[in-house]
A and B are shown apart, each in its own frame.
Chain A
Amino acid sequence: AQKVTQAQTEISVVEKEDVTLDCVYETRDTTYYLFWYKQPPSGELVFLIRRNSFDEQNEISGRYSWNFQKSTSSFNFTITASQVVDSAVYFCALRNSGSARQLTFGSGTQLTVLP
């Protein structure tokens, strides 16, 4: 069985602060894929990043960065210099490489960035 845990239910920061969203996963597979999605108040799911289990390089995209640590089964997401528009629910998700290709989502973290 696989599981994704996002222990932070809600986080509030003031604009321009940095914030890290935690994600811990469980899987028995050696090959798997990790994702982050953003869900703004309008409701759509916006793809942010996909990372496979063999690629432990950290990634930076503008103000976003991701830290993948296989040793601790974590895939944390940091927003630098947060902005009000970053306010959303952020989901971490896991997919195994087998025939069942559906995503298992974490429970999400509601991020509120205050002006």
Chain B
Amino acid sequence: AAGVIQSPRHLIKEKRETATLKCYPIPRHDTVYWYQQGPGQDPQFLISFYEKMQSDKGSIPDRFSAQQFSDYHSELNMSSLELGDSALYFCASSPGSNYGYTFGSGTRLTVV
């Protein structure tokens, strides 16, 4: 079965650079979520999209932005990277409000 695809798997950036993370949800899933998991932390919700519209916003810094495209893939754009942005970034998709989530394998971002 198709899963949630995230790319890249690993990314190393320098401080003040920008990064773009991509997420391809499971086909026919209408909602995409982004989570950030710092070292030794639990995943924290950043932002979600329902049918290509932003549906909810969590603790996402102003330096980050995200969008969902017509083909339902989503991108998380991160600018002016800081050391504290080093984390595992997960994308998840869901087919509806009463269903579980499927998480991608995550993108490990390291800011040096």
Contacts and interface: CB of A to CB of B under 8 A. Distances in A.
Given A45-B90, A97-B97, A102-B58, A91 B105 contact: no
B74 interface: no
B71 interface: no
Given A47-B100, A97-B97, A101-B94, A107 B42 contact: yes
Given A43-B108, A91-B43, A102-B33, A35 B56 contact: no
Interface in B80-112: 88, 90, 92, 94, 97-106, 108
Contacts of B68: none
A37 B100 CA distance: 11
Interface residues of A, number: 21
Interface residues of B, number: 27
A103 interface: yes
Given A100-B56, A101-B56, A47 B45 contact: no
A102 B45 contact: yes
Contacts of A106: 42
B55 interface: yes
Contact of B106 (A33, A43, A104): A43
A47 B56 CA distance: 22
Interface of A: 33, 35, 37, 43-45, 47, 50, 52, 91, 97, 99-108
Closest 4 CB pairs of A and B: A105-B42, A102-B45, A45-B103, A50-B100
